[in-house]
A and B are shown apart, each in its own frame.
Chain A
Amino acid sequence: MGNKYPENVEKIVDDYLSRVRSNMKGLPEIDKDDFIKEIDSHIYESYTDEKNGDEVGKILKVLKKFGEPSEVFTKSAPKAMYKIGKEKNIPLYILIGALIAIFGLPLGFGGLGIILGILGVLGGLVVAYYAVAISFTLGGFAGIIASIIHIIDPDFFLTLTGETDMIRVGFLQISNPTLEGVLGIFFSFVLAALGIFLLFMSKYIFRGLKTIWELASKKLKEILKRNKKST
């Protein structure tokens, strides 16, 4: 940086600039050099403007006014400056990359079908999942109730259908209604538990899918918008 300062001041400035540099992660070297050159120039101007105090006192005052490197250059700065677009876009690029790898098709104009396909499959998957989970839960509870009724009144379902003359055999084909009822309760309970478990797990399972869904629908909107413009 030349010999523009007294030796001890030079040391302080060099140390400061190296701390600034170490806080500029993710910047191209050429930009770092430019930044450092500019800040060095600033510090020099500020130092020569400072009239009061001894050399070290002056430079410390100047650097204090400039700010702590970590404060000046991390929160506001280079990273944010060089980040193109929002963070959310990054997974989209990964998704597109994966799709190109799988289907060998770029997701441009011709990718519309694929996006629609993905949305369709995801939608179907979610609907099917909830359908299964809900029917398991409801079916389980219904089974429990039916089994209890079966124990209390073995003939209930037969009278319900009006077939009183039939042999008293229930849904599990066991002739002892109480045993059948207990087994029925047990299986129904397992079924209901499974259904509830599936419902409970859905928020974890679909967490990843939700992201893909959002990305895909966002992409779809973009494609549609582009198509609208071109036609």
Chain B
Amino acid sequence: MENKIKQLRKGVFELVILQVLKKDKYYGYSLIKAITDNCNFDINEGTIYPILSRLAKEEVIDSQWVESSKGPPRKYYMITNHGKEILKGLEKEFKDLTALVLNTKTMKKKSGRKPLSDKKKIYPTREEKNGK
């Protein structure tokens, strides 16, 4: 269960990071603060770095080391134009997904079995393959 929650969070987290970075540039620590200050979201702060690194590798965001007067230099992140496009797509997808979740949650029991038989029809070849 915990693992499932983690996976779900990771996907949503990417979207949240991009939304925040669309507003302004942030460095890792300030980004975490910006995200978690407004709500009670319990997450290991460190997990943001692998995500940022991946996003940077995909050129969705860009980064830049900036000297700080208060201590060690900070690595600032900003969204790229490509990232803005990606964000648009993600936001739409997320909206659709939330609608889907709410829809299926309130779905009546009678039609509950339908998707299963549909699924069988859609993927006959895979089952045949496995059967062999």
- Which residues from chain A sit less than 8 Å from chain B, CB to CB? 2, 4, 31, 34-35, 37-42, 44-46, 48, 65-69, 71-73, 75-78, 80-81
For the complex, would chain A's binding face be called helix, strand, loop or mixed by DSSP majority? helix
- Which residues from chain B sit less than 8 Å from chain A, CB to CB? 6, 10, 27-30, 44-47, 49-51, 53-54, 57, 68, 70-75
Contacts between chains A and B (CB distance < 8 A), count:
74
A4-B71, A35-B53 known; A72+B29 contact, CB < 8 A? no
**Residue on B nearest A73 in the bound complex, by CB:** B50
A4 surroundings in chain B (CB, below 8 A): 71-72
Cα(A41)–Cα(B51), bound, Å: 17
| Pair A81/B70 contact, Cβ less than 8 Å | no
A2-B72, A81-B53 known; A38+B28 contact, CB < 8 A? yes
| Pair B29/A42 contact, Cβ less than 8 Å | yes
| Pair A72/B47 contact, Cβ less than 8 Å | yes
| Pair A39/B49 contact, Cβ less than 8 Å | yes
Cα(A72)–Cα(B44), bound, Å: 7
Q: What are 14 A-B pairs with beta-carbon distances under 8 A?
A: A4-B71, A35-B49, A38-B49, A42-B28, A48-B71, A67-B44, A72-B49, A76-B47, A77-B50, A77-B53, A78-B50, A78-B53, A80-B50, A81-B54
State how many angstroms separate the Cβ of A178 from the closest Cβ of chain B. 43
CB contact between B45 and one of A35, A41, A66 (< 8 Å): that residue: A66
| Pair B47/A41 contact, Cβ less than 8 Å | no
State how many angstroms separate the Cβ of B116 from the closest Cβ of chain A. 27
| Pair B70/A65 contact, Cβ less than 8 Å | no
CB contact between A38 and one of B30, B51, B68, B75 (< 8 Å): that residue: B75
